[in-house]
Chain A
Amino acid sequence: MQRLSEIVRNRFKETLAAGRVASTLSIRLPWGVEIVLAAESCGFDAIYIDLQHSALSLETASQMSIAALALGVTPIVRVPNHNSETISRVLDGGALGVLAPHVETPQEAQAIVSSARFAPLGERSTGGGLPQLRYRHWPQEDVVKIMNDATVVLVQIESPAAVERAAQIAEVPGVDGFMVGANDLCAGYVIPGQHGHELIRSAYARVIAAANKVGKWVGVGGISDQKLVAEYVKLGARIVATGTDVSMLMEVGTERAKFVESLNS
């Protein structure tokens, strides 16, 4: 019989645990499950299903998550709020991780962990029949252990206040890592769009140092300048959010339409 730990794999976490850099693709458009196959073929470690900045439904997020589980690309959902209800339904729907936006205090991070992890690490409600387990029955103590282990909790550090408290937030047990939302952080420092600004560089350095000190991961989000991404990875960041489905379509499509237009000159 297959072991539970073989069924519930989290490629994203395994990549990071091996000291490698993990890549993610953000999904904002209401595709069918085809997008998950495409993401897997591209070579991404995880998909971020973005319920914060999109009109995607919980239902669609769940369908994409389940498709991702089958393929082995890790489904992580960016939730629109920190509500226990949102986090638990997203995880019940098949996600192997949540990404919570705008976390500024250890208390907020603690509450998110609590919603995402079963007791004794948290207070996640047990619904039974999880897609991550292919709806099979297992002794509950095994389910708790395996699911707590396989579920990634990421919080977004994206305000000056959060940067100030990064060390305390990093110490919250059950938080696996930070995504630094470069755009909101720039806005917070009133230097919109200046991803390479000294304030942002020092914020990254500070967050990375605080996180790495306690064995937590840091991710780079919202930056398209690859040199800058490489610089932050050199500092110790290990997750790279490479952008959204929309930005990929726009990038390739604009270039292709321009090519055809160039045949007119």
Chain B
Amino acid sequence: MAQVLREIVRNHFREKLAAGRVVSKLSVRIARSVEIVHIAKSCGFDALYIDMQHSSISLETASQLCIAALGIGITPLVRVPSADHVSRVLDGGALGVTVPDIESAAEAAKVVAQCKFEPAGERSTGGGLPQLQYRSWPQTEVVEVMNEATTVFVNIENLAALEAIDDIAAVPGLDVLMIGTNDLCAGLGVPGQHGHALVRDAYRKIIAAARKHGKTVGVGGISDRKLIAEYVAWGGRVISMGSDLNMITSAGTARAKYVKELSDATSK
């Protein structure tokens, strides 16, 4: 039975990571409707990262996007604005959450507790989960399969977390240490300098702690491809490739610029 349930609750992002591969995710910040899910899937992203920390996306919209993502096999992850939102987001269909600004192992352990059902955690059982297509299953199997399929991230993006990284990485049930490079740079006093020696040292330290405790490291907020490749070579495995918003502005700026150049050349 649990095997049947496992076929329904697939987390492709997690499976690909387990196979040792590098995975990509796209942040959703301004899209409001399920088209973005199909677009992300067609582009080839492994996960959709619905950003409720830095957007005005509602829980309701986040849930609709998650459910659409479950339907076509791109993993729905949600960045919550704080740990208080974890359980409703997971009830809404997410297969993973990330909590920003974690500072200690205790905070990380609290996130795990909110993501996992007993005995691994304290997630409240509401019944009727979209991840199970609202089917009824024996609760022991639901717990086993959902705990397995739910990916728990914490964002490592401040000096306190960096200091406590070994303890945080040791928290059982935690899957990914997602490095928020921009906030980390700000904390280290080198804003925007993603390749600065201090930032490299931080990456080395985080990757070493993760490796020691069998955790995965994510690279977030970096657009420099060479630097991403370097951090992947060191051991980074989850790559944030920007948001819907900056995809639009990146392509749009290039296209509008092309027409302006055409205009300049023509009206000479």
Chain A nearest CB from B179 CB (Å) reads 16
- Contact segment of A18-26, A78-86, A154-162: A18-26
The count of A-to-B residue pairs whose CB atoms sit within 8 angstroms is: 138
A248 touches B251 (CB 8 A): yes
A263–B222 CA distance with the chains assembled, in angstroms: 15
Q: Which of B33, B44, B249, B255 contacts A30 (CB 8 A)?
A: B33
Q: Which of B21, B40, B229 contacts A253 (CB 8 A)?
A: B40
A248 touches B252 (CB 8 A): yes
B245 touches A43 (CB 8 A): no
A263–B23 CA distance with the chains assembled, in angstroms: 9
A115 interfacial by beta-carbon distance below 8 Å:
no
What number of B residues sit within 8 Å (CB to CB) of A?
Answer: 44
B255 touches A256 (CB 8 A): no
Chain A nearest CB from B81 CB (Å) reads 18
B212 interfacial by beta-carbon distance below 8 Å:
no
What string of 1s and 0s marks CB contacts (under 8 Å) between A1-40 and chain B?
Answer: 0000000000000010001111101000111101100110
Residues of A within 8 A of B247 (CB): 248-249, 252-253, 256
A41–B255 CA distance with the chains assembled, in angstroms: 12
A242 touches B245 (CB 8 A): no
B208 interfacial by beta-carbon distance below 8 Å:
no
Chain A residues numbered 35-75 whose CB sits less than 8 Å from any CB in chain B:
35, 38-39, 41-44
Residues of A within 8 A of B44 (CB): 253-254, 257-258, 261
A34–B251 CA distance with the chains assembled, in angstroms: 16
B43 touches A250 (CB 8 A): yes
B262 touches A38 (CB 8 A): no
A229–B258 CA distance with the chains assembled, in angstroms: 10
Chain B nearest CB from A247 CB (Å) reads 8
B255 touches A248 (CB 8 A): yes
Main SS of the interface on chain A? helix
A264 interfacial by beta-carbon distance below 8 Å:
yes
A257 touches B259 (CB 8 A): no
Contacts known (A21-B263, A43-B256, A240-B259); A257 close to B35, Cβ less than 8 A: no
What class of interface size applies to chain A in its complex with B?
35 or more
A259 interfacial by beta-carbon distance below 8 Å:
yes
B30 interfacial by beta-carbon distance below 8 Å:
yes
B22 interfacial by beta-carbon distance below 8 Å:
yes
A29 touches B33 (CB 8 A): yes
Chain A nearest CB from B227 CB (Å) reads 12
A245 interfacial by beta-carbon distance below 8 Å:
yes
Chain B residues numbered 215-259 whose CB sits less than 8 Å from any CB in chain A:
225, 228-229, 232, 239, 241-242, 244-245, 247-253, 255-259
A29 touches B22 (CB 8 A): no
B263 touches A256 (CB 8 A): no
What string of 1s and 0s marks CB contacts (under 8 Å) between A127-159 and chain B?
Answer: 000000000000000000000000000000000
Chain B: CB-nearest residue to A259:
B225
A234–B258 CA distance with the chains assembled, in angstroms: 14
| Known contacts A252-B250, A253-B40, A256-B26; 20 further A-B pairs (Cβ under 8 A) | A23-B259, A23-B260, A35-B30, A35-B248, A41-B249, A42-B248, A43-B252, A43-B260, A230-B262, A233-B266, A243-B255, A245-B248, A248-B252, A249-B248, A250-B39, A251-B251, A254-B43, A257-B26, A257-B241, A263-B232
